[in-house]
Amino acid sequence: MRIRTLVPGLAVVVAAAALTAGTAGAGTAASSEASPGQRAAQSGVQQVVGAAKHGKDEVPAIGRRWAAAWTTADTRDLARLYTKDAVYTDLAVNLVFHGREGVEEWESGSHKLIENLEFEATGGFRGRDGVVVEGVFSGHIVGAPRPFEVPLVTVLRLRGNLIHSSNDYYNRTEILSESGLPADWTPPGS
Protein backbone atom coordinates (compact mmCIF):
# COMPACT_ATOMS: atom_id res chain seq x y z
CA MET A 1 0.00 0.00 0.00
CA ARG A 2 1.37 3.40 -0.93
CA ILE A 3 0.83 6.42 1.24
CA ARG A 4 -0.18 9.51 -0.67
CA THR A 5 0.17 12.80 1.11
CA LEU A 6 -0.88 16.14 -0.33
CA VAL A 7 0.61 19.15 1.36
CA PRO A 8 -1.68 22.10 0.53
CA GLY A 9 0.21 25.12 -0.70
CA LEU A 10 3.52 23.27 -1.01
CA ALA A 11 2.73 20.58 -3.60
CA VAL A 12 4.27 22.60 -6.43
CA VAL A 13 7.27 23.44 -4.26
CA VAL A 14 7.83 19.75 -3.46
CA ALA A 15 7.67 18.83 -7.12
CA ALA A 16 10.20 21.54 -7.95
CA ALA A 17 12.44 20.42 -5.10
CA ALA A 18 12.22 16.80 -6.20
CA LEU A 19 13.19 17.79 -9.73
CA THR A 20 16.09 19.89 -8.48
CA ALA A 21 17.28 17.02 -6.30
CA GLY A 22 17.14 14.65 -9.27
CA THR A 23 14.41 12.41 -7.88
CA ALA A 24 11.88 12.99 -10.64
CA GLY A 25 12.03 13.71 -14.33
CA ALA A 26 10.07 13.69 -17.52
CA GLY A 27 10.96 13.21 -21.14
CA THR A 28 14.43 12.73 -22.53
CA ALA A 29 17.59 13.47 -20.61
CA ALA A 30 18.52 17.12 -20.72
CA SER A 31 21.92 18.15 -22.00
CA SER A 32 24.37 19.18 -19.30
CA GLU A 33 25.53 21.97 -21.63
CA ALA A 34 22.05 23.53 -21.82
CA SER A 35 21.02 26.38 -19.55
CA PRO A 36 18.67 25.52 -16.66
CA GLY A 37 15.76 27.00 -18.65
CA GLN A 38 16.67 24.97 -21.74
CA ARG A 39 17.02 21.78 -19.68
CA ALA A 40 13.60 22.40 -18.10
CA ALA A 41 12.07 22.96 -21.53
CA GLN A 42 13.76 19.81 -22.92
CA SER A 43 12.39 17.70 -20.09
CA GLY A 44 8.86 19.11 -20.38
CA VAL A 45 9.07 20.96 -17.07
CA GLN A 46 7.79 24.52 -16.81
CA GLN A 47 9.82 27.01 -14.82
CA VAL A 48 8.10 29.15 -12.24
CA VAL A 49 8.58 32.78 -13.26
CA GLY A 50 10.21 34.80 -10.49
CA ALA A 51 11.07 31.73 -8.44
CA ALA A 52 13.84 32.47 -5.97
CA LYS A 53 17.13 30.67 -6.35
CA HIS A 54 17.91 28.46 -3.40
CA GLY A 55 21.04 27.01 -1.95
CA LYS A 56 22.74 25.79 1.17
CA ASP A 57 22.99 29.30 2.63
CA GLU A 58 19.26 29.80 2.11
CA VAL A 59 18.04 26.75 4.04
CA PRO A 60 15.62 28.05 6.70
CA ALA A 61 16.92 27.78 10.27
CA ILE A 62 14.46 25.02 11.27
CA GLY A 63 15.62 23.02 8.22
CA ARG A 64 19.28 23.41 9.21
CA ARG A 65 18.48 22.37 12.80
CA TRP A 66 16.46 19.38 11.53
CA ALA A 67 19.35 18.19 9.31
CA ALA A 68 21.94 18.72 12.07
CA ALA A 69 19.81 16.86 14.64
CA TRP A 70 19.93 13.71 12.50
CA THR A 71 23.71 13.55 12.93
CA THR A 72 23.90 13.92 16.72
CA ALA A 73 24.16 10.97 19.08
CA ASP A 74 21.28 12.29 21.23
CA THR A 75 17.99 11.26 19.57
CA ARG A 76 16.16 13.76 21.75
CA ASP A 77 17.73 16.59 19.69
CA LEU A 78 15.50 15.74 16.74
CA ALA A 79 12.43 15.01 18.87
CA ARG A 80 12.71 18.42 20.56
CA LEU A 81 12.11 20.12 17.21
CA TYR A 82 8.62 18.53 16.98
CA THR A 83 5.28 19.29 18.64
CA LYS A 84 3.99 16.78 21.20
CA ASP A 85 1.37 15.57 18.69
CA ALA A 86 3.66 15.54 15.64
CA VAL A 87 3.50 13.02 12.80
CA TYR A 88 6.70 11.87 11.06
CA THR A 89 6.15 10.00 7.78
CA ASP A 90 8.85 8.23 5.78
CA LEU A 91 7.16 7.55 2.47
CA ALA A 92 9.98 5.40 1.03
CA VAL A 93 9.51 2.72 3.68
CA ASN A 94 5.82 3.40 4.36
CA LEU A 95 6.25 4.15 8.08
CA VAL A 96 4.49 6.74 10.23
CA PHE A 97 5.55 7.75 13.75
CA HIS A 98 3.48 9.82 16.19
CA GLY A 99 4.56 12.31 18.83
CA ARG A 100 8.02 13.14 20.07
CA GLU A 101 8.43 9.58 21.32
CA GLY A 102 7.74 8.29 17.81
CA VAL A 103 10.27 10.71 16.30
CA GLU A 104 12.85 9.54 18.82
CA GLU A 105 12.02 5.88 18.07
CA TRP A 106 12.40 6.48 14.31
CA GLU A 107 15.75 8.23 14.66
CA SER A 108 17.07 5.65 17.13
CA GLY A 109 16.07 2.77 14.83
CA SER A 110 17.58 4.52 11.83
CA HIS A 111 20.92 4.94 13.61
CA LYS A 112 20.93 1.25 14.59
CA LEU A 113 20.35 0.22 10.97
CA ILE A 114 22.54 2.85 9.27
CA GLU A 115 26.09 3.55 10.42
CA ASN A 116 27.49 7.05 9.78
CA LEU A 117 24.00 8.34 9.01
CA GLU A 118 24.24 11.88 7.62
CA PHE A 119 21.90 14.42 6.13
CA GLU A 120 23.53 17.39 4.45
CA ALA A 121 21.10 20.20 3.70
CA THR A 122 21.97 21.60 0.28
CA GLY A 123 18.98 23.85 -0.36
CA GLY A 124 15.54 24.78 0.78
CA PHE A 125 12.91 27.41 1.16
CA ARG A 126 10.08 28.43 3.45
CA GLY A 127 6.40 29.05 2.83
CA ARG A 128 3.82 30.47 5.21
CA ASP A 129 3.61 27.41 7.46
CA GLY A 130 6.10 25.01 5.96
CA VAL A 131 9.67 24.42 4.94
CA VAL A 132 11.15 22.28 2.16
CA VAL A 133 14.66 20.96 2.78
CA GLU A 134 16.70 19.45 -0.04
CA GLY A 135 19.77 17.45 0.73
CA VAL A 136 21.91 14.37 0.52
CA PHE A 137 21.08 11.37 2.72
CA SER A 138 24.04 9.06 3.26
CA GLY A 139 25.29 6.25 5.44
CA HIS A 140 26.18 2.58 5.46
CA ILE A 141 23.47 -0.01 6.11
CA VAL A 142 24.79 -2.49 8.68
CA GLY A 143 26.03 -5.57 6.77
CA ALA A 144 25.80 -3.96 3.32
CA PRO A 145 28.85 -4.17 1.04
CA ARG A 146 28.95 -0.41 0.31
CA PRO A 147 27.75 2.94 1.71
CA PHE A 148 25.05 4.96 -0.06
CA GLU A 149 24.47 8.62 -0.89
CA VAL A 150 21.11 9.69 -2.36
CA PRO A 151 19.07 12.88 -2.76
CA LEU A 152 16.29 13.47 -0.25
CA VAL A 153 13.58 16.10 0.05
CA THR A 154 11.71 16.65 3.30
CA VAL A 155 8.61 18.76 3.79
CA LEU A 156 8.26 20.19 7.29
CA ARG A 157 4.86 21.59 8.28
CA LEU A 158 5.16 24.00 11.18
CA ARG A 159 3.06 25.01 14.14
CA GLY A 160 4.70 28.08 15.58
CA ASN A 161 8.43 27.38 15.80
CA LEU A 162 8.04 23.59 15.99
CA ILE A 163 7.54 20.90 13.37
CA HIS A 164 4.00 19.51 13.41
CA SER A 165 4.53 17.02 10.59
CA SER A 166 7.29 15.93 8.26
CA ASN A 167 7.34 13.84 5.10
CA ASP A 168 10.55 12.34 3.73
CA TYR A 169 10.84 11.70 -0.03
CA TYR A 170 13.76 9.62 -1.34
CA ASN A 171 14.32 6.54 -3.49
CA ARG A 172 14.62 3.37 -1.34
CA THR A 173 15.57 1.28 -4.40
CA GLU A 174 18.48 3.64 -5.10
CA ILE A 175 19.72 3.25 -1.51
CA LEU A 176 19.62 -0.55 -1.78
CA SER A 177 21.31 -0.54 -5.19
CA GLU A 178 24.11 1.79 -4.07
CA SER A 179 24.52 -0.34 -0.92
CA GLY A 180 24.94 -3.51 -2.98
CA LEU A 181 21.73 -5.04 -1.60
CA PRO A 182 18.92 -6.70 -3.59
CA ALA A 183 15.76 -4.66 -4.30
CA ASP A 184 13.68 -6.96 -2.06
CA TRP A 185 16.05 -6.66 0.94
CA THR A 186 14.46 -6.06 4.32
CA PRO A 187 16.21 -5.32 7.62
CA PRO A 188 16.97 -8.35 9.80
CA GLY A 189 14.12 -9.11 12.19
CA SER A 190 11.43 -7.32 10.16
pTM: 0.70
- Dmax of the chain from CA atoms? 50
- Burial of 69: CB neighbours in 10 Å, binned 0-12, 13-18, 19+: buried
Within the chain, residue ranges assigned H as helices are 11-21, 36-42, 61-69, 76-79, 99-113, 172-179
- Residue 27, pLDDT score: 33
**Paired sense of beta strands 82-90 and 114-126, if any:** unpaired
Phi first, then psi: give them for residue 2, nearest 5 degrees. Answer: -100, 140
In DSSP terms, 136 is beta-bridged to 120, 151
**How many CA atoms within 13 Å lie on the side-chain side of 127?**
18
158 three-class SS: strand
- Decide if 42 contacts 31 (C-beta within 8 A): yes
The tens digit of pLDDT for each residue in 27-79 reads 333 334 444 444 333 333 333 333 344 445 589 999 999 999 998 888 899 99
Q: Which stretches in the chain have pLDDT values below 50?
A: 1-55
- Residue 57, pLDDT score: 58
